Structures are given as structure tokens and as C-alpha cells.
Chain A
Amino acid sequence: MTLPDRFDRIRSTPLRLTIILTLIFAVAALGCFTTAYGVVRANLNAAILSDLRQTVATFRQEGEPDELLERLTEAVRVTDPSYRILHYLPDSGPVISNAGDIAPISGTVTLAGDSLGPTDGALAESYLALSARVGAGQLIVGQSRRAIIEMSEIFAAVVLMGLLPAMLIAGLAGLWIARRAQDRIGAIQDALGAMTGGDSTARVRGIAAGNDDLSGIGQAVNAMATAQEALIVTLRQVSTDIAHDLRTPIQRVSVLLDRMARGADLPPAQKTLLLQAQDETTRIGRTFQALLQLAQVEGGAARDRLVPVDLVGVARDVVEFLDVDAETQGLSLTAALPASATVTGDRQLLSQVMVNLIQNAMLHGAEGQTVHLAIATCGPVVTLTVSDHGPGIPADERAKVLRRLYRLDRSRTTPGNGLGLAMVKAVCDLHRARLTLEDNAPGLSVRIAFPPVSADVGTTAQRPHLAQ
């Protein structure tokens, strides 16, 4: 996957929705857990504190100092310090404690186990301790926070074992759904791209079945394409009809002029006029022919007839055909060709493209310049380049010159019908080849990159006139 693809995927709506939903879910779940944890912890703390206060209250009930000391001594002896600590610091006399030395505290504090001792028994990790005045001394009662720590561990385990896998699963499922949606959106985009590229038969595939929003869009696109295709067919029929209707009168004019030329002995001046009229009629006919052929190639019906063609063989013939023209004009036509380069195509149309491009280059080139034809193979991709050192085409005009009948201002007076490059573009589209016009500094470089030859083409389609 290339970098731009990745960016596209991140920008895709379904993926963004997935990421946002997963994040919302995670934040909400964590919020709930945190609240629950806080509540449970506060309850446990409150329970421990109330227990401690109870203990303090019990000792306070003893009125006699001696009895208090006795009870405390007894209590310290039987109390396990890992659960509860008792520490009595009388105003005078020895300390009574099951937890070693404890620094004086006031109020309610949390004591770390390792700040106590030494003791006979083991100590807990930490204690919640309460200091209160009992009799003639200060009593510190503490209870192990074991229950709270265990509760925290359980919550952590729940988050790790429950929430994270859930988020992971939700994220993966979201990605998969996003990818599926992306594929379907991609199918719609591909179909629209192909239609824009002139393939009026392109449709959104594999989307017709469902009845969700994406399928709806796909079906709408297909319906639009069908309507447009019908329109194109009608238009094409109309233009063919017009061509036929106009060709016959042109033929008649041509016939009449020819009869005139063959018949009488005309004065030389009129003979010249007649010859000019005949040439003009031929030119009209040729332009018609070129327009009709262009419409036909753009129609794309010839796509079924494309067969493997050795582009190098075609190029050799074209160079041999045109190099005398180049010599006559004082240009040199050079070629850099590999041994062979197979593309899927129509030999005549490919030959015509090369002739058009080379003639264009020669037309705009000046004496002494070179027109260069190159074919290169890079892996399965075959590239054809025709470059010259003429005046070139300004960058903002490059797309326009591919339109039919468009001509650069400076070309208005040169011969040509404004259909040559439109034909090149149409043939490239037919072959699904990529056409680029570049600055040759100075001059123009036209590059055509053909798609790799697919194995199944050519076995079914055979050129009928060759077969016969």
C-alpha cells in the first residue's frame, strides 16, 4: 500500500466514524469504572473508620485507669497486628502496643506497614489509623487496608481483562466494517471515474443487491449512467445520420466537379479554379471522415477487438513511412526501439497515433531539429514517447489541445484539422493508456503509458479480415 492510499483510508468517512465511536465508548466505559471504583472505595473506608471509632468508644467506657491498662494489655496480646494495630501511649508509663514504635499522629491517617515495628507478628502493607484521647493517654487504633487494596486490584483486572479486549474487538470490527464500506464507496468512485473517462458502459458492480444507503447511491449512479448511455447512443445515431445525409450531397458535388474536369476543354484559369474546388471537396470529405472515425473510437466499440500487438513493429513501419517526409523538411526523425514491446491494441489505431504525433512534431519543428520516437519497457508497462524541440505547448493549453477542433492561436494558419490530438486522446482512452504532455525544454514531449497486457486478451478476438 502506498502512502497516499493510507491517507485516503484515514480520511475516509467510515473509518473516521469507527475511530470516533471507539474513543467515545472507551471514555464512557472508563468514566463508569472510575465512578464505581470511587464509590466502593469510599464505602470501604467509611466501614473501616466506623469499626475503629467503635473500638475507641469501647475502651473509653472503662472508667478505671488500671482496668483500662489491663484491658489494653490483654487486647494487644490477642490482637493480630497484620489485621489490627493497637498502640497506647499513656501520659506516664510504658507504651502498650502490638505494632512497635509509631510516631505520634493526630486524626485519621494512612500508615505504611514498613514505618512500624518491630513486632512479633507480620504487618500489613498499610493501615487506616485513628488517634484519640482515651483515659490518661493517646490511643492509636489502625486497621489493615487489605480489603481496599484487593478491591483496587480487582478493578484493575476488570479493566485489563474486560475493557481493553472489548475495545480491541470493537476497533477491529469497526475497521472491518469501515473497510467494507470503503470498498463499496471505492466501487462507486471507480465507476464514476470510468464514466468521466468516457466509458459510458461503466457501472457500479456488486452493490445492486442491498437496500442500505450505499447501495441506494450505487443504484442511483447506475440509473444515471444508463440514462446517459442511452443519450450518447441517440447522439451518436444522430451524428451518423447527419454524416450520411451530408456525405451524399458532398459526393454529388465531387461527382459534378469531376465530370466537369473530365469533360470539356476549359480555359486554364477555370481549370485551376476547378482543381481548387476539387481539393476543397476532398478536404471536407477528409474532415468528415476524421470526425466520424473519432466518434467511433470514442464510442469504444473497438475495445473488444484489441489484440496483442508488437508496438515496435508498428513504430518501425511508421518511421520508415514518414522519414522521407522528415528529410524533405530538413528534420531528422530518430527512433530508440527495444527488440519488442507487446501491448493490447489495434494495430491501425496505434499506427495512426504515431503518425499523428510525428506529423504534429514535424509540422511545428524547424529545419535542423530532431523528432524522436522512443519505446521503453519498464516491467510490464510499455511507454511510447514522441518528443520534439519545437515551440511546445504552454502548460495551461495542454489539456485543451486534446479537445476536438481546438487549435492554438499560432497554429491557425498551419495545415491540419484540429482533430489529430483529439484522435490520439481517444485512442489512448480506448487502450486505457495514460497520455501525458510534458515540456521537453524546449519543445513538447508526448508520453503514452500502456497498461500491462492481460493474459486473456487476444484468444477470443481475432481480426476478421486477417482470418479470412
Chain B
Amino acid sequence: MMDALFSAWSTSRPLRLSDKLWRIHWPVLLTVCLLAGIGTATLYSVSGGSFQPWAERHTLRFLVMLGIVVAMATVRLDVWMKLAYPAYLAALVMLALVPFVGSEALGAKRWIDVGPISFQPSELMKLALVAALARFYFQLPLEKIGKPQYVLAPLLLIGVPVFLTMQQPDLGSACLFVALGLALMFLAGVPLRYFALGGLIAIASLPVIWSGMHDYQKRRVEVFINPGMDPLGSGYHITQSKIALGAGGVAGKGFMQGTQSQLDFVPEKHTDFIASIIGEEWGFKGMLFLIAIYGLLILMMMIMAQRCENRFARLAIAGSATTFFLYVFFNLAMVTGLVPVVGIPLPLVSYGGTSMTTLMIGLGLAMSAYVHGRAGGR
């Protein structure tokens, strides 16, 4: 049945490999390389002018992932469509298993160890959720999108992983799932009245959510509202980060001159708080440039989505773009003290394999969708 649906929108001959490579959106990949380059330069600077211990590994990791993106782009779209639900189920099972087999880091279990590799099922879920929602709307006839039961089903697809990650507890990922899922439902054409209704319900249930939160989560929200309450907890990181950003000023102190952060005042400076290093060394100008690059990347991907005819392709690309946006927004908002510390890295710039893998595989999916989802693609 899926093959039948598939051939309904595309009857042309299959693409050759050279066609596929030609159809890849290279400017997007170039932008991604630029971001990873900014990451490498910053990591080089953070380690006091050394490729060790972070810059070299960051670069190698990125290059490997870049190869994977190109390879993924040549894989036919229906392969990804067939994988969507199984991947979602697998991610769900692993999320459910975390409390039992996961390894714990101070009160929160988020990781699963498989031999020497440990990974976070919530990361896999970010990809799987995009794929599963795109897959769901691919098959759903237009006139059914607004029917309550067909609004409830994707809500369940989003709700179950949200519930499971809340148990870990990993509030950051849970929020990300909600934002990502709702954005995809919005793009898929779910009538606006549902969003209005949902908004009202959300506001009404705030007190219930508050009372259901873990003490440390409540505390984090309270600390966010009043950072003076806890100068040593999450407030400490934000204070250090704000000092570093302020020290950068408009022009910045210059490459490798970011003394505020070089002296290890900024915690997690090579991962979640890397933006404060960039802000100190390159100043406000540098930060604007960085935001512009991310904006350009997201814009190009949203345009990629418009050019596709296949609904799965459109949603997969838009979902991947939205993931990028959410990472960038929440990371920068955290570093500047706009939202509580949530532990979300700066895409492709922060050191760390997990988020890089998630984002690049998402990009690979989007690229495959772009190559095969346009007219003449198959």
C-alpha cells in the first residue's frame, strides 16, 4: 500500500547515483561545515591553543558524520519511511528500559551502556519522533487531519516519550519533544482551533504540573526566577557565563584572548557553555554572526522543505530544521540566562558526540528527503 501511495506522486525512473549527488543541497552542507569549523577553532582556543583534547576529535567526528550525511542522502526515501515506525518503537522500548538498565549520574538515569558505547535513548527519540510523525502524516488523507482521533494519535506519539523522559527525570528533553512534536503537527496542517484549545488547557494545568514536579526541578525554576537564591547551583554557571559575555563587549577580546573563560571560570566551557567563550573572544559582533549562520541554515532547510512534493519529505526536512532551531535557541537562552540550565549543547559547535550524531543523522534524513522528495526524484 505504501508503494502504491509512493508511485502516485512519482512515476519517473529511479535516480542514478550521480543524479543524487547533484541534487544534494550543497550550500546547506557548506554552512554546516562552517559551524563545525567555528566549533573547532573555539575548542582549539579553549584548550589554550591546542588541538588536544577536544578540537581534533571534534573535527574528526564531524568529518565522519559528514560522510554519513552524504551517504544517507543517496538512500531512497521509502527506506526511511519503512524504518520510521520501527525506529520509533525501538527508541520507545529503550526509553522505557532506561530506569532498569540505565547508568545513573547523580539522581538521573539517562544513559544506556552497550559495551563500550553509552548513549541516551532520548537522543535517538528526537530523530525517531520526527520520522514517525512525518510517516504518520504521509499516509493520512487530507480530510482526516482535523478529525479528533487523528489529532489524538500524533499526540500519543509525542506524549509517551515525554512521559518516559519525565520519569528519568530529563525535563530538557521532554520540553524538546513537546516543542518539536507540536511544530510538526502545526506544519502538517492540524486545524488552529486545536492549538488554541491546547494552549488554554496548558495554562489551566500549570498548577498541576508544578505540584507534580520533582523538588530539584521546582528549585531550578525558582532559582531561575531569583538567581540570587542559589549562587552556587545552576545560578553559578549562569553568572560566570554572563560575566564572560559581558567581558567580550562589542568587539570581543580576540581569538585565544578570552581570559575570563580561559582561566576555567566558565564551567562546561567546551560543551554546553561554549557560546560564552565565543561571546568573550568575538564579542557581540561574533555572536550576531553566529546567530546569522544558524538562521541561514534553518532558512535554507525550510526552503528545501517547500520544494518537496512528498509530505514525508517536507515534514522530515522541516522537523530537522526545527530541531536545529530548538537546540540553538535553548542553548543561547540558557547561556544568556533567559531560561534555566537545561543541558542542551550548541549544535555542531559544542564538543560531544551524542548531539552531533543526532543532528547530523537528522540532516542526512533531510538531505535524502530533499534528493528524493522533489519532482523527478524517486
Q: Decide whether A and B are members of one complex.
A: no
